[in-house]
Amino acid sequence: MPITRLNHAVLYVRDVERSVAFYTTVLGFRRLDMTPDGFTGAAFLQAAGSRNDHDLGLFEIGSAAGPSRAGRGTVGLYHLAWEVDTLAELEAIQARLVQAGALVGTSDHSTSKSLYGQDPDGIEFEVAWFVPLDLLDEATLAGRKGIRPLDLAREQARYGATTLGASSTTTG
């Protein structure tokens, strides 16, 4: 029984309402009314195009919580990666990340085009668009061994701003 995809992630955050505001405003998640009665300090969010019960669980642990040291002194998760359907959507998210002061990097991985952001607690995430399988060529596949800065305008000129990415074209 092979694993086919990640269904949801759960994050510990300092302030659940601050995190909900970030993920809904910047990344377009919506808050779900599914927190158990009498339970405070938690929220469940769903991505706009998702069919999952929820995509992100947020659990508040308070303002005294220290920053994650994963990758800087402890083992742990580096980042989560979410996918968008088009380069136009990636560009819109880039603008919102810049406006929120949350964009920390961009990368052209050849077969994918990625933005990297950090939420209010410094938890890193990636938002990516994947080149459709029918547009992959030898040069693109060979380029996977390197990472370059993302030139979103160049990629939109090459692939089209509204071309559906690899997963979008295969899942219907």
The secondary structure of 101-165 as a DSSP string is T-EEEEEE-SSEEEEEEE-TT--EEEEEEE--GGG--HHHHHGGG--B---HHHHHHHH-TT---
* pLDDT tens profile 41-100: 999 999 999 999 999 999 999 999 999 888 889 999 999 999 999 999 999 999 999 999
Q: Is the dihedral of CA 60, 63, 66, 71 positive or negative?
A: positive
For the domain 80-171, what is the CATH code?
3.30.720.110
CATH superfamily assigned to domain 9-60: 2,3-Dihydroxybiphenyl 1,2-Dioxygenase, domain 1 (3.10.180.10)
Q: 9-60 and 80-171 share one CATH topology?
A: no
Indicate yes or no: pTM above 0.85: yes
* pLDDT tens profile 118-143: 999 999 999 999 999 999 988 888 87
Where are the chain's structural domains? 9-60, 80-171
Measured N-to-C along each axis, helices 16-27 and 87-99 cross at an angle, to the nearest 10 degrees, of: 140
pLDDT tier at 169 (50, 70, 90 boundaries)? Answer: low
CA distance linking residue 155 with residue 161, whole number of Å: 8
